[in-house]
Amino acid sequence: MHLKRLKNLILLILPLLLVLGSCSKDNIDPEKQAQKDEAAIVKFLAEKNITAQRHASGIYYQITNPGTGNITYSSNTTVSAKYTGRLLSGVEFDKSAQPIAFKLGGVITGWQIGVPLIQKGGKIRLLIPSGLGYGAGGQGPIPANAVLDFDIELVEVTN
């Protein structure tokens, strides 16, 4: 008798849990979020009077120094960079005063797309939509669905 009641209780609770689970705020339509990010970036650029180019991926970039060299980048390319990362609100979430080395394949997609647009000694500003950054999960001080604003200086690039 108790087993039958337990089974019925589980059958009643399971659909409720499924419905509540589907109401999670993590279920954001990526296309709608990309449109929101695009609008936020365009508004930011206009308000700050920044001229930037749009990459087919959706990132916006402003090259202030292209650098020198002719490295062909891959995910195994080691890059040493100084950078400052901000939210569009201007809140700084990360900064490296000294160069930090990393494999290009080990960073967010926005960097994988934007960094190869310059060479050693180059400087670039990247405005990265959330889907090419930390997405719906965010990370540490970076909230979910945050558009990222990076100033990057490439100190060294090696294959």
Q: What is the pLDDT of residues 8-56, one digit of tens each?
A: 433 444 333 333 343 444 567 989 999 999 999 999 999 999 999 999 9
pTM above 0.75, yes or no: yes
Q: Are 61 and 68 in contact (CB under 8 A)?
A: no
Q: Are 131 and 137 in contact (CB under 8 A)?
A: no
Q: What is the C-alpha to C-alpha distance for residues 111 and 132, in angstroms, rounded to an integer?
A: 8
pLDDT band at 143 (very low <50, low <70, confident <90, very high): very high
pLDDT tens-digit series, residues 111-142: 999 999 999 999 999 999 999 999 999 999 99
Burial annotation 111-136 (CB, 10 A radius, 16+ → b, else e) = bbbbbbbbbeebbbbbbbbbbbbbbe
pLDDT tens-digit series, residues 53-78: 999 999 999 999 999 999 999 999 99
Domains, the chain, in order of start with CATH, read: 29-158 (3.10.50.40)
